[in-house]
Structure 1
Amino acid sequence: MNTATAGEPVLLSGGNPQIAKGYGDAPVQAYIAAMPGWKSDLGRRLDALIGETVPGVHKAVKWNSPLYGKDGESWFLSLHCFTKYVKVAFFRGAALQPMPPGASKSADTRYLDIRETDVFDEAQFVSWVKQASQLPGERL
């Protein structure tokens, strides 16, 4: 585990920010600000796209990951930092068309891993977010 200077979040293994559990935009923005390097810019863009696609989206940080949902009790998407990529989890991703590329141990969940050198397909991401937000969320 990396140590942080006073007032800065600790980065856990893989560079994932350690942010206290909380509900609303503030803890999510704290997480995004603490994402290391290029990942912070990506986090801001993902957050903006989600907010534009799902007006009034509910946000929280649990288990050091931002969550996005429709009602504040169930969630359709999460973000998580790893050393070389940001993982987007679509909790009902198996129902999305086309399915996000990353398989999961959970039959319902699908992942999108975004690396610094990837060409990020915003239109496809927005389509997945819109579809995911219309499905029943995961209670976490």
Structure 2
Amino acid sequence: MTGKAPSKSAKGTKAIAAEPILLSSGNPQIAKGDGDAPVQAYIAAMPGWKRDLGMRLDALIVRIVPDVRKAVRWNSPFYGVEGQGWFVTFHVLTRYVKVTFFRGMSLRPIPPGGTKRSKEARWIDIHEGDEFDEAQMAAWMTQAATLPGWIP
């Protein structure tokens, strides 16, 4: 793990960490929270080239869905439409960033990642050096934001 561990105050309680801790996969450990601030904290803590990708994804989503609802859940940023649920999330893994569409089977074309166990969800794994197809990602985001989303 990288990042600073929380320090102890004089009374022995944990203080807030100066930097988010990165889990063994490199995924930032960010507390559950609603709104833009926890999502921006997650993106700022993404390591290396993944941070730039996180910023691009976030900007693309906001451009397509200006009133997007944001939150961090399970150490990942989630994006949704009020009253419709979450339509997309992304997650840092050791060698790539996984962008998951909760209703991916309804997108055209269907994103490439998925298994029988993933039901409706489909994803795309983006590795360092991969060409980022912004037009295709925008098309998926546009479609996904109009569908009923995932409600935990």
1:121 corresponds to 2:120:
no
Gap regions ≥5 residues in structure 2 = 5-16
In the TM superposition, residue 3 of structure 1 has moved relative to its aligned partner by: 4.2
CA distance in 1, matches of 2:2, 2:125: 26
1:94 corresponds to 2:105:
yes
Gap regions ≥5 residues in structure 1 = none
1:76 corresponds to 2:97:
no
Q: Structure 2: which amino acid aligns with 1:120?
A: F
1:36 corresponds to 2:47:
yes
1:56 corresponds to 2:67:
yes
Q: TM-score scaled by structure 1?
A: 0.96
Offset from partner CA, 1:78-120 (integer Å, 9 cap, x none): 0100011000000000000000010132220001101111001
CA distance in 2, matches of 1:60, 1:127: 22
In the TM superposition, residue 13 of structure 1 has moved relative to its aligned partner by: 2.2
In the TM superposition, residue 18 of structure 1 has moved relative to its aligned partner by: 0.2
Instruction: Indicate the residue corresponding to 2:145 in structure 1.
Output: 133
CA distance in 2, matches of 1:49, 1:17: 21
Distance 1:58 1:14, change over 3 A: same
SS at match of 1:77: strand
Instruction: Indicate the residue corresponding to 1:106 in structure 2.
Output: 118
Q: Look at both structures and tell me which one has the larger radius of gyration over its CA atoms.
A: 2
In the TM superposition, residue 60 of structure 1 has moved relative to its aligned partner by: 0.1
CA distance in 2, matches of 1:23, 1:50: 16
Q: TM-score scaled by structure 2?
A: 0.88
SS at match of 1:13: coil
In the TM superposition, residue 4 of structure 1 has moved relative to its aligned partner by: 1.9
Q: Taking every aligned residue pair, what percent have the same amino acid on both sides?
A: 63
Distance 1:73 1:23, change over 3 A: farther
Task: Answer whether contact 1:59 1:72 (CA < 8 A) is retained.
Answer: no
CA distance in 2, matches of 1:94, 1:13: 30
How many residues align? The count is 139
SS at match of 2:40: helix
Distance 1:20 1:92, change over 3 A: same
Q: Structure 1: which amino acid aligns with 2:91?
A: H
In the TM superposition, residue 73 of structure 1 has moved relative to its aligned partner by: 6.7
Cα RMSD (Å) of the superposition?
Answer: 1.2
Instruction: Indicate the residue corresponding to 2:77 in structure 1.
Output: 66
